Each structure stands twice: as C-alpha cells, then as structure tokens.
Structure 1
Amino acid sequence: MRFLIFLLIGVFSMANHLINSDSPYLLQHKDNPVDWYPWGEEAFLKAKKENKLIFLSIGYSTCHWCHVMERESFENEEIADILNKYYVSIKVDREEMPDIDKYYQKVYQLMHRRAGGWPLTIIMTPDKKPFYSATYLPPHYSQLGPGLKEILLSIAKDWRENPQKIKEIADNFEEFYKNRKSEVKKEDINKLIIAKILKQIDEEFDFTYGGIKGAPKFPMESTLDLMIDVYMITKDEKVKKALDITLTKMAKGGIFDQIEGGFYRYSVDSKWEVPHFEKMLYNNANLPIVYLRWYQLTKNPLYKEVAFRSLDEMIKRFRDENGLFFSASNADSEGIEGKYFVYTYDEVKSAFEIFDNANELMEYFGIKKYGNFNGKNNPTIHGEKPHNYKEALEVLKKIRSKREFPFIDTKKITAWNAMMISALFKASEFDEKYQKTARKTLDKLLEIMYEKKLYHSYNKQEKNKKEALLEDYAYLIKALIDAYEHTYEKRYLDFANKLAKESLKFKKESWYMNEAKNIEADYSDSSYASSLGVLANDFYDLALLNYSFEYLNLAREIIKNGGYYINNYPLFYPSITKAALKDIYKEYVITSKKPLFDYEFDYPYILWKEGEDYEICVVDRCLKRSSSLDELLEGIR
C-alpha cells in the first residue's frame, strides 16, 4: 500500500501547472519536465517575488514546429532544469488567447522587422517587459548560431550580473513600441484607392502561379475577397486574370486536399504544390466564400466543387455532438509530417492495377516515381478528369482509411464558428441543404456561447469558457447579418444589433481586442481578416439594415482611423479597405418579400431586407421603387 502511495505521488508530481487546463495545446505540455504555468497572475506574482525572468512560449496544438521544439527542448531534462532554475515559464495557446498572441507577434515584428510565427519565444523582465524574441529555436548550438540552451544560460547570466542593462533594453523597447503606435495618424480616405489597388496587384501578384510573389504562400482570403469587389467595380481584366490564376492553381494544387477535400494552411513553395498539412477551420470557412463569389461571376464549376468539398470535409470530420466546429487538425500523424496525406508511387501503382487506364490516372493525380514531398506524393491535379475518376478517388481514400488521422484540436472558437456559419449561408445560395446546417450551428452557438455575455472558446468543459474578444463580436455579428439576409428571421437582426451595442465596451480612445483594454486592436489581416476591419463592415451593413446614422458614424470613424493603411497599403489591409470602398461607392439595401439570392448582381455592395417588392435605399433615404429588379438596379450598374 505504501509503495502504491509513493507511486501515485510520483505520477502526479510529473505534471506541471497546466494539468487543469481545458486547452488541448496546454494539455500537450502538462507532462513536460518544464514547470509550465498558464498565463495568469500566479505566474507573474512568482516572477516578481523570486525576481526571475519570464520565458513565454506561444503556440497551438496543430503546429508542426511547436511539436518539434517540444520534443527537442521542452522534453529535454537539461533545458528544463535551466528554465526551472532561472525562469518562470508560461505557455499560451494562441487560439485561446489571440489577443496575447497578437501583441507579442507585434513585439517580434518590431524587434526583427519581419513577421513572426509559431512557436513564438519571448523573454521578459519580471514586470512583463519584453527584451528578447524568437520563433523556433534548436536545442543546442548549430550552424545557425546559439541554441535555446546557450541563449537561456547567457541571458540568465546577464540578469544575475547586470540586471540594469536588461531593464534598460526592455524600457527602451517599451518606449519604442509606444512611440510606434502614435506615429500613425488619422487620414481622410483618398478617393483614388482603386487605382492604388490595381497598381499593387500589378506589382505584387504572381501571374504565373497566383498569389503574392514569393514563398511560402498563404491563401490570403480577405485579399482575394477585396479583389473580387474591385473586379466587380472596375471590370479590370488584369484583376480577373490574377483571380483566375490564383483560384485555379490553388484548387488543382497541393494546398488543397485532392482526396478528401479541405485546404491546408499554406504552401511552402511558390507553386502551391507542397503544403504545410494543417487544416484550419478559418481557411476552410473563408476560402469557400471566395470561391463561391468567383463562381457566381465566372460560372466555372471547379470553383463551386472545391468550395463544397471543403465545407463537406469540415461537416464530416470537424463537428462535435452539438454541431459546433473544431478549430484545426495537425500536420503530423504518428509523429511524421504529412504521413496521413501522402502516397508512395508503388502503393498507388499497385492499387490502380484494377483500372485499364492506370497510367492516365497516375498522371491526373500527379503521382510520380520520386514524388514531390520527401520522396512521396502529395496529389496535385493535371488535365481533365478521367472517366473513372470517382472510382480512383475511392481507392485513394481507402488507402488513407488504414492510417491514423492527425490529431484534431476539439476547441470550439466563437469567431471561427461564425466564419463557418457565414460560409454555409453563402453555400446555401447554390444548395439549400447547407442552410439547415448553418442555422443549426448558429442557434447552438448562441445557446452555448452566449449566457448574459458572449464567450470566446471552450474545449470539453463549458465551465472553462474564455471571455469573448472583439473578433468574436465582429465575426458573430457578420454571421447574424448573413443569417438575417438569407432567412428574413428578424431575431437574427435583433441579436446582431444587441451584440453591436455590446461591442462598444471594447472602445475607449481607440478599439481594444479584449475587455481589459490592455491590447489595442489593429487593422492588419494576418491569418484572417482583422476584427476592426470586419467590425467596420458590420457597422456599415447595420447602418443600412436599420437606417441608422449611429452605426454609419461608427463605421466611418474606424475607417478614418485606418486611413493611413487604406491610402498606402490597401491590398495588404483588405478588410478595412473593403469598408472604405462601401463608403466611396455606396452600399445599397433592397427590400423584398423573400430573399432573392438567385438574382445575379454585378455590383458588390448589396444587402437584402424584408419589405415590399422592390425598393432600393441608402442609409438616409429610399431612391427608387419598382416591380422589376432589373429596372431598379439600372442606376448602379
């Protein structure tokens, strides 16, 4: 019995302070020898009391390089001893705390003059002032320079021997950060920003493979969405070419899972051939919207097929028992990146022996002797579909079915679920089955995530729900507006108005990401559209749907505050630029007895509202009434 007690004590003592977390990412680190703390006062008080530096590591559960750094460094007893002796170590799940992540990504960007990533490594003074930042670090000295061990020992030595020097560096950076924020001034919007966007597309776009020039390549959904708006306004053929090339190359490339559907997070090469194999919910919500919008204009069936396959994969594999959507799946399975998704030449050749056109099928799926990913093949599409394409696809699915699917982070995030709801409502314009899923998801999201106030996320324990952030309000308001437009159920518009008014709690002299108002919201669209950009569009839409100058003024204030970015870098701040274009070119609301999404528009800024057939209005007046939609829209085409 005594032996059993000692054994149990030994087992429990192995776990660190992350053991009670609800975050899948933090739980992955609960048995590390590093004495990790979650972000919170307990860790900060310990750092101050013991005068220890803070080692902050930010990542997420499906991040490949986060897992590599864990295996190499955080499971390493020697490195763990250094961290435990000289530092207070804090782990943050960037999906659970995107406000914290956003702040420290900006710290990294200002220190290095380039974008950061994950894992993000920050070292701070005991009073939380950062002075060192990095992304992935190898455990030991290599040809790239010092490893984590050497860096930790060197900084700890400096802190013991000359703490004032480190404090000065941290204070100087803090001052630089504050001054940097105040440099950007409000600007009136230049009416010629369309010309600026066209120039930036011409300069920055890859007209061979699509996307922004260079590698790695990210889908940049909000940029593509803005470009569709610009094309609808200008009919510029170069914009059309850029969109066609990008969306076709992605649809046929390795960034799209050609076997089961769904987009991976990004491509490591410039041709969209070799992806990083994570599947994120936000990509697979926002990209289908872009593809379906472009399908409406081009009628290319490839775009609708890709959108539907992405949504169907999310519905099949990424939902819980309540119908809410999980956040992401890992790039690795069984400890190997891409193992679930790729094929050897021989296994496919052997499996395709049942077909009389095996070589044609091998060529169609891009299966080659030496592969395109570590000697194996990540399928890419070439040429027209063979007559037995579907049968071959089932064979490739069967091969995968014998493998272990990558880890899925089962965390439910309000903002990301709202993105998926918007995508499903968009898809319902082409297949009504998606509306049922959209409504069920939205109603359940409101039931679980709104209890007197809105919440951001939870994994398995609803009692551990995290406080909502500005992005949750912005994206959920958008989803509710989409729901109202597609159903004319007033309860959705009423709830959108309720949340819009509640969102003002994030506003002081500027907008903040969190209710504590200690991390400012910004305009940059990084992994997805910025909360401020989305919110400005929400306010503009609500101004039209409610005929409200209050909402209009809120939208215009956000737009003006972002004027510097809109005027100078519109293609790279697309969500707030979209709101500015609504203000310049006008958004209209059309009343009708029922939603008419089968009517084809060639103007991007049209809203639907329940009313008599048909009347077109702006925020302060109605312009025209007609029994014919064609006649009604003549003036804005």
Structure 2
Amino acid sequence: MSHDENRPTNRLAAETSPYLLQHRHNPVDWYPWGEEAFEKARAEGKPVFLSVGYSACHWCHVMERESFEDEAIARLMNEYFVNVKVDREERPDVDQIYMSAVQALSGHGGWPMSVFLTPDARPFWGGTYFPPKDSRGMPGFPRVLTSIHEAWTNRRDSIMASAGELTNQLDSMGRVPESEGELSAELLDNAARQLARAFEPRHGGFGSAPKFPHPMDLRVLLREHARTGDAHALHMVRHTLGKMARGGIYDHLGGGFARYSTDDEWLVPHFEKMLYDNALLASTYVEAYQLTGDPEYARVAREIFDYVLGRMTDPEGGFYSTEDADSEGEEGKYYVWTLDEIREVLGPDRADTFAQAYDVTERGNWEGKTILNLPRPLEEAAASLGRDPGDLRRELDEERAELLEARGRRVPPGKDTKILASWNGLMIAALADGAHALADDRYLDAAEKAAGFILDRMRAEDGRLLHSFKDGRARFNAYLDDYANLADGLTRLYEATGRPRWIEAAMRMAEVMIGQFSDAEGGGFYYTSADHEALIARTKDAYDNATPSGNAMAATALARLAGLIGLSELDHHARRAVQSVRLVLEKAPTAAGQSLIALDFLLGEVREIAVVGGEDDAERVDVLRRIRSRFLPHAVVAPTPASEEDREEAERMVPLLQDRPTREGRTTIYVCEGFSCREPVLAEGLDEALGGSGSGGS
C-alpha cells in the first residue's frame, strides 16, 4: 500500500517487516510487540488491541485502508487502547496463541486477526476483519471499540475472570492426550480411508470451497500406494494434481501456485503466492513424477522452481516470503486478461487458438476478465482443434512466453522480501530432491546458496538460528519449525551433494531441537525454545496447518538423520514425537499429514544407499540422478563428495561411507537394508540392486 512519505510516522517505522512498515504512516499509535507496549497498558490501565496480519493478506490491506487510515477511528483506538501490530510471519508464536483464542471465542479464525488483551497479555475478546461501519451483519469497528471500552470500564472484574479462564484453556490446547497404542501401519491405512471419504471426485482435492491444495495429504497417499498398491490412493493424487495444474490456481505464464481456490474447480484463486505453498507443492509434483514417470508432473515442478529462482530469490541466495494478491489496488489485476489484450500481443489468428485452449472469451470467467486455465487436457484441446498435440504444445509454449513478457510490463504485485528460515528450509529440501530427479544443476546450486546464506547470515553469535532476515538484519529467536525444516532441508542437501558441511549443520540443528525444544516428560517438541520470551502459554503444534507442524517436521528430520548417521538417540526422539500425537493420527489423520509421512518412514525398512565416487565424477552424478529418478520414500542416500578434501570428513561423519572402497576405480553403490549390506555394484548393476528400472520404482 502506498503512502505519502512526508506524513508523520509511528513506531513501526523502525521495523523491518514489510507488513509493519505498511502501517508506519497510520494515525494509529502502533507499537510493535514488546514490553514497552504492555508497560504502557499497565501504567495507564488500558487494554491492548492486538492486530495480526501479513503483507500478502488482501483483507489486511482492506482493514488498514478503511479503519487504520481513518482519523476518527484512530482517535478511538489511541484513546481507549494500547495498539500493537504483529506480522504473523515474524512472530508465529504470538499468532499461534492468539489465533487459538480467537477460534475459541468466535468459532473461526483468519487474518487480519483482531484481539483484545488485558495489560498482562491475556485475551478476552476477538475476531478477524471488521468493516468501518455496521454492514452485512457485522458490527462496525468503531462500535466494537466503543463496546469493548465500555465493558472494560464497567465490567472489568468479569473480563479479568474470563480472560483467566481462557488463558488456562489456551495453556492446555495443543497438548494432545497421551496414547499408549502401537504405532502401526493401520494408522496409515485409516488415514487413506479418511482421505478417500473427504476426496472430491469431480475436481479433485479434499472438501469444498475454499479449496486448499493439501500437499502433505497427497504425499501420504503416494506413500500408501507405494506401500500397498492401493490404486485409488494414486488416483486421488493424479486427479488432484492434474486438475490443479490446469486450473486458475496455477500461474500458466509465470509458474507457481496461488494460495488457494475460492471455488471447487480450482479456477478462481486468492492470488497471493506463498513460498511455502510452492515448496511443498514442488516436492509433491517431484514425488508424483518419481512414482509415475508422468512428464507433466516434471514440467510443473520445473516451472515452480523457475518461478522461485526468477522472482523469489534474493541476490544473496535466500528465498523471499510472498507475493501479494493485489497490484494497483486491485486483487488479481496483474494476472488476468481480456481477449482484446491477448489479440494485441499474439495477433488475431494465434490469439484464437490460444483462447480456445486457455478459456479466454469476450465475457471472461471472472469479473469480466479471464483467469487463464486449461479446462481440458492438452491432448483433448488438440483433438478438438484438429491439431497435432506436439505442435500445439510448442505453439502454446511460445505464446505463453510472449504473454509473460507482455505481463512483465504491468505493475507487479507487492513482494514481501523478508527471508524466513523455516520456509527456506522447505524450499531447500524441494530443490535438493528435485535437482537430480529433474536433472538440473541450477536447482542444486540455488539450494546450496540459500543454505549457505542462512547458516552464514541468520545465526546469532552463539551459533543459534534466527527466524527472519530483512534489510541486512537477522532477528527473532528461531522456532521449532525453523530448526526442523532447515534440518530436513540440509539433510536432503547432503544426500544430493555429499558435502559434509550440510550434514554437520543438520546435526547441529538436531542437537538444539533436542536440547531446547523437546518435552522430556510428554515426548514431542514445544514450538518455542526453553529460553524463549515467556508468553501466556507454551504450545505444541500437533496439527498441520498451511505448513507442516513443527513437531512432525522434527520427527521427519530426526528419523532421516538417524537413518544416515545411525544415531539411535535421534530415532528415539523421532518416535516419541510421533507417539505424542498418536491420538491425532487415529482420530484426525487428515490434520496430521506430515506426522503420517514421518510414521511411514519409521515403519518402513530403511534402505541405506552409499554412493562412492570413482575417478569420473560425471558417473557419480549420473548414479545419483538415476537413484533420484525413483520414488524411494524409505531410502537415505550417502554420497561421497566431489572433492577429495571433503571425503575424509564425510566418511568420519557418516558411518555408511566408512570402509567402502570403489571397484575398478569407478563409482560404486552399496545398498544396505535390515542391518545387512548386499554386494557392491557398479552403475550398470544399479537397477537390479534397487529393484526394477527407471521412474516409478518404490
């Protein structure tokens, strides 16, 4: 949102968050989250108004424009409250606690989140977006402010009592009752059955509008198919991935997925693009490609990665957080087209073919404009046009490139350029897995550069990880998902490169997770570290949200590390983390996809694959690519590094590489399973050693 830079600023002008900086010229006397605000509230006997949002949030921009920029509303806020503004992406710990409060109070949540707190930070009333005047059955924000002030003035004792009760409730939320039941494959089968019940057979996906991609659930189904041969599990994945990739939720010109679809058909997206969605979906499409060999999945994964490398990568290597839904004050304006605009770029004849393929009409399919989508698979479109599918694909590829160039001359959406360790960890993992599967070294280079950036620029003097980087400053103690996601990304980066730096850093992340976040009594992991700022509750996130739960990612990372380096303590903590949410896996498996992925790995017979490079490094890389062309959800890969100076260190850190000579000076593969190893093989014996051949192996 643009502001007159000559207007006075509030305290948010000293922040780095783009979301907070968007509010620096508001007439509201905003404070960032911190002791200064609560000291003022206690001294003046005022409640705190806490507003939480993020930069790509459309309705956050609307509420700012309608209410926080309004002088009269700002006067009420400043007179009656101490006002605190929080970026949920910088302070997910604060967001997590108070979102639980809003959901308990109102039955729903979302952003912008609006919560009223006592001066000691206990919530007593809250909601989400409020209009500036009473409308559509919602009270106007001035009415809300006045009513809360009157209640605080006249019924404070009652408010304090209810705030205390709610705080006690929050402290117990997220603590899943212990379950002593066995961690068995029946939990995985039950999850597949529950997902089948939630599956929407016409357009794919789960549930109804608004429809979210659910990448963790799709990856659970891929593993169910690989483990049991369940054909319907694979059908659900294939149907969903195909429909999503042809829908308007996908950017057919620039690559990448929007946040979610507002309808059942994947046509009309909420146009914001998030790094984490694209990381998780890229991983899903890569795995689907490994399992099926379908080149369409490889194409989508490549286009996601190319979008991230082209638009979401900082020159120093880290990955940016989000692109807004809005440009020039309008949601989706950057992405939609009219038929006349298409004709102006492509000319009338080519435009006609493109329009028939991509659903472009005079009327449009959304507010008089067209969101590009492929209602039919390309082969069907080619048949209806009387065209050869290959020729049509090449023609459409050229036309999409021309339209992308033309779109690039438009005013782009705003971009949140802060770099978050947790979301970067997800993208590092996706790129590391995708690089060999898609045979593109650019993706591996990008993953290594991002990992190096985080390790070099996003750690405190004591070596501990920091959560967020913006404008040359790394800030905020890292949370569980920062450590867990990065540990997983670094582990997968080691598996792709063999470089000891990455496995060593992953082990350091694991040490901090266990030392600072683990729950020695109940098992599993808290969201904040033992030495974190004291909040009104210390929570665990047992459930996946838009991103995998930190507890589940900790289990995933530790289990994989244990498979690589053979440290039983890591496996122990991974199993306890999954055991701690066993009741969720049993009763609500559709909310715990990442925990199920971790469970699948823990229950599987882990295959340990050592790749010992010989004299020709190109052969070593080729072997790694052939391994990574397969879907091997229970395999870990330990390659020797390319450089001789790193090899000794790698062998010291990864026992799987010790005493593994090459044969005939060539790249040699050792496959171990169930505490025994087979005879080593050369490249030509790889397929037989792994079972089957090519993509689609399990």
Alignment correspondent of 2:371: 378
Alignment correspondent of 2:580: 561
1: CA distance, partners of 2:208 / 2:7? 48
Alignment correspondent of 1:3: none
Q: Which residue of 627, 635, 640 maps to 1:606?
A: 635
TM-superposed deviation, 1:539: 1.0
TM-superposed deviation, 1:364: 0.8
- Whether 2:88 is the aligned partner of 1:94: answer yes
Mapping for residues 78-477 of structure 1, pairs under 5 Å: 78-114=72-108, 116-181=109-174, 184-188=177-181, 189-354=183-348, 356-381=349-374, 382-384=376-378, 386=392, 387-429=394-436, 430=438, 431-451=440-460, 452-462=463-473, 464-477=474-487
- Kindly tell me: are residues 301 and 629 of structure 1, through their superposed partners in 2, closer, same or farther at Cα, counting changes over 3 Å? closer
- One-letter identity of the residue aligned with 1:18: L
Aligned length: 624
- Kindly tell me: are residues 38 and 323 of structure 1, through their superposed partners in 2, closer, same or farther at Cα, counting changes over 3 Å? same
- One-letter identity of the residue aligned with 2:450: T
Alignment correspondent of 1:513: 527
TM-superposed deviation, 1:623: 5.0
2:210 and 2:264 in contact (8 A); partners too: yes
Worse-matched range after superposition: 511-520 or 204-213: 511-520
SS in 2 for 1:65: helix
Alignment correspondent of 2:648: none
1:187 and 1:561 in contact (8 A); partners too: no
Q: Which residue of 519, 524, 545 maps to 2:543?
A: 524
2: CA distance, partners of 1:485 / 1:344? 47
Unaligned runs of 5+ in 2: 379-388, 614-622, 640-656, 661-667
SS in 2 for 1:465: strand
Worse-matched range after superposition: 542-551 or 603-612: 603-612
SS in 2 for 1:457: strand
- Kindly tell me: are residues 589 and 347 of structure 1, through their superposed partners in 2, closer, same or farther at Cα, counting changes over 3 Å? same
Alignment correspondent of 2:651: none
Unaligned runs of 5+ in 1: 1-9
Q: Residues 561-594 of structure 1: CA distance to partner in whole angstroms, max 9, x if unpaired? A: 1111112222320111111222223323222215
1:59 and 1:94 in contact (8 A); partners too: yes
- One-letter identity of the residue aligned with 2:455: L
1:589 and 1:608 in contact (8 A); partners too: yes
1:286 and 1:420 in contact (8 A); partners too: yes
2: CA distance, partners of 1:154 / 1:26? 27
1:51 and 1:126 in contact (8 A); partners too: yes
TM-superposed deviation, 1:90: 0.5
- One-letter identity of the residue aligned with 1:480: L
1: CA distance, partners of 2:21 / 2:624? 47
- Identity among equivalent pairs (%): 35
TM-superposed deviation, 1:601: 4.1
- One-letter identity of the residue aligned with 2:135: S
2: CA distance, partners of 1:525 / 1:181? 12
Q: Residues 95-154 of structure 1: CA distance to partner in whole angstroms, max 9, x if unpaired? A: 11111111222222223344x221111111111111112111111111313111111101
Worse-matched range after superposition: 71-80 or 97-106: 97-106
SS in 2 for 1:458: strand
2: CA distance, partners of 1:211 / 1:469? 30
2:346 and 2:399 in contact (8 A); partners too: yes
- Kindly tell me: are residues 258 and 97 of structure 1, through their superposed partners in 2, closer, same or farther at Cα, counting changes over 3 Å? same
2:175 and 2:539 in contact (8 A); partners too: no
- One-letter identity of the residue aligned with 2:516: K
Worse-matched range after superposition: 88-97 or 196-205: 196-205
2: CA distance, partners of 1:557 / 1:470? 16
TM-superposed deviation, 1:272: 0.5
2:97 and 2:170 in contact (8 A); partners too: no
- Whether 2:672 is the aligned partner of 1:622: answer no
1: CA distance, partners of 2:625 / 2:342? 43
SS in 2 for 1:494: helix
TM-superposed deviation, 1:457: 0.7
- Whether 2:535 is the aligned partner of 1:498: answer no
2: CA distance, partners of 1:139 / 1:190? 53
SS in 1 for 2:11: coil
- One-letter identity of the residue aligned with 1:471: D
2:20 and 2:86 in contact (8 A); partners too: yes
1:63 and 1:330 in contact (8 A); partners too: yes
2: CA distance, partners of 1:122 / 1:625? 63
SS in 2 for 1:608: strand
2: CA distance, partners of 1:442 / 1:173? 41
Deviating runs (4+, > 6 A) in structure 1? 10-13
1:625 and 1:632 in contact (8 A); partners too: no
- Whether 2:546 is the aligned partner of 1:536: answer no
Q: Residues 327-347 of structure 1: CA distance to partner in whole angstroms, max 9, x if unpaired? A: 111100011111111112322
Mapping for residues 45-60 of structure 1, pairs under 5 Å: 45-60=39-54
- One-letter identity of the residue aligned with 2:413: P
SS in 2 for 1:379: coil
2: CA distance, partners of 1:548 / 1:313? 38
- Using the size of structure 1 for normalisation, the TM-score is 0.93
1: CA distance, partners of 2:498 / 2:377? 43
SS in 2 for 1:466: strand
2: CA distance, partners of 1:476 / 1:183? 25
SS in 1 for 2:546: coil
1:254 and 1:380 in contact (8 A); partners too: yes
Alignment correspondent of 1:4: none
2: CA distance, partners of 1:93 / 1:240? 38
- Kindly tell me: are residues 35 and 12 of structure 1, through their superposed partners in 2, closer, same or farther at Cα, counting changes over 3 Å? farther
- Using the size of structure 2 for normalisation, the TM-score is 0.85
- One-letter identity of the residue aligned with 2:502: Y
Alignment correspondent of 2:489: 479
1:477 and 1:538 in contact (8 A); partners too: yes
1:217 and 1:267 in contact (8 A); partners too: yes
- One-letter identity of the residue aligned with 2:527: M
- One-letter identity of the residue aligned with 1:514: T
TM-superposed deviation, 1:218: 1.1
TM-superposed deviation, 1:257: 0.5
TM-superposed deviation, 1:495: 1.4
Q: Which residue of 591, 601, 608 maps to 1:572?
A: 591
1: CA distance, partners of 2:358 / 2:450? 35
TM-superposed deviation, 1:391: 3.0
Alignment correspondent of 2:654: none
- One-letter identity of the residue aligned with 1:605: H
1:364 and 1:383 in contact (8 A); partners too: no
Q: Residues 7-40 of structure 1: CA distance to partner in whole angstroms, max 9, x if unpaired? A: xxx9988211111111111010011011110000
Alignment correspondent of 2:385: none
- One-letter identity of the residue aligned with 1:576: S
- Kindly tell me: are residues 570 and 182 of structure 1, through their superposed partners in 2, closer, same or farther at Cα, counting changes over 3 Å? closer
2:585 and 2:596 in contact (8 A); partners too: yes
- Aligned-CA RMSD value: 2.2
